[in-house]
Amino acid sequence: MSERPATLELLEVGHTLHPEHVVLQNRRFAPLRFPALVGLIHHPTEGPILYDTGYSQRFLEETRPFPERLYAWVTPVTIDPERTAVAQLAARGIRARDVRWVLVSHFHADHVAGLRDFPAARFVYFRAALAAFAGFGRARGTAAGFLRGLLPPDLEARARALGPREPTVALPPECAPFGRGVDLFGDGALVAVELPGHVDGQLGLFVRHADGTRDFLVADACWTSASLRTRQLPHPITRALFSDYRVYRETLERLADLAARSPEIRVVPSHCDEVRLARVSPARAVRA
């Protein structure tokens, strides 16, 4: 296998405000900014690839009627039309049709609200992630953070859905305790691993750079970098948000082990403001 590097840029595509104690136990009750981060990967042969899409105007439209409006009440969202994923790509000279792949970490609305903006893209996700919401009606979907109207009607026809028998490759020792993953394009640049617990089949992504270092995009497997350092769990009030809290804790422990052993691997949670401040270019960051 010839190894090729990829580059990763993080975009902020909307944000919400949450009480901080929801995210970390033992913190004061104060609003915490909760960005929706999107990975813009530049791959040497596949071109621009997105890891999730963040919010979009369609999220606001979909959450106008009941029962979906309840979602918007619980998590008030700010999304500037000029800061959607498709608009931020356009500002970089990348047309929506140039995006051939969107990697979907999982199907919560804040990760997939822009999927319909990429008409030429194929979608990569673990099959279990979509199956988790099979048969959900509007009310049950809303309660679970899943808005079917955000998904392209032909999603599955355009998908490369990864099943349990997907061939895997060994990851290098520094990625332990993560031992194997799906090498998405056969060049070692992007390797997907399952991070279950928050939802089934959540897709984490190792991105390998030219200098051999790696980023690890972990979506909602942990919410803040601080929680990884301190191994602090979210407030028990949030347990209902996880499909399996015990498995969520196991995945969080594995991430904390990786972070402690291999600090050179940059773990990137999707909603961490510390990561946003460090990694999202100020000129392009959304104003708070």
Return residues touching Zn ion (CB under 5 A).
108, 220
Q: Residue 18 or 108: which CB sits closer to Zn ion?
A: 108
Q: Residue 178 or 248: which CB sits closer to Zn ion?
A: 248
Q: Residue 83 or 108: which CB sits closer to Zn ion?
A: 108
15 phi and psi angles, rounded to 5 deg:
-155, 165
Q: How far is the CB of 123 from Zn ion (least distance, A)?
A: 17
- In what side-by-side order are the strands of the sheet with 47-51? 77-78, 7-19, 31-43, 47-51, 101-103, 122-126, 159-162
Q: How far is the CB of 132 from Zn ion (least distance, A)?
A: 11
Q: How far is the CB of 198 from Zn ion (least distance, A)?
A: 6
Q: Residue 15 or 108: which CB sits closer to Zn ion?
A: 108
184, two tokens: 């998405």
3-state secondary structure (DSSP) of residue 228? helix
Q: Residue 171 or 225: which CB sits closer to Zn ion?
A: 225
Alpha carbon distance 239, 70 (integer Å): 19
Alpha carbon distance 23, 29 (integer Å): 10
Q: How far is the CB of 195 from Zn ion (least distance, A)?
A: 11
Q: Which three-class secondary structure string do you get for 88-128?
A: HHHHCCCCHHHCCEEECCCCCHHHHCCHHHCCCCEEEEEHH
Q: How far is the CB of 271 from Zn ion (least distance, A)?
A: 8
Q: How far is the CB of 170 from Zn ion (least distance, A)?
A: 28
CA distances from 42 to 89, 162, 196, 256 (A): 12, 22, 26, 27
Spatial CA neighbour of 119 closest among 102, 139, 140: 102
Spatial CA neighbour of 53 closest among 102, 125, 97: 102
Q: Residue 16 or 232: which CB sits closer to Zn ion?
A: 16
Alpha carbon distance 70, 146 (integer Å): 12
Asked if 145 and 180 touch (Cβ cutoff 8 Å), the reply is no
Spatial CA neighbour of 18 closest among 228, 259, 194, 271: 271
Q: How far is the CB of 125 from Zn ion (least distance, A)?
A: 13
Q: Residue 107 or 178: which CB sits closer to Zn ion?
A: 107
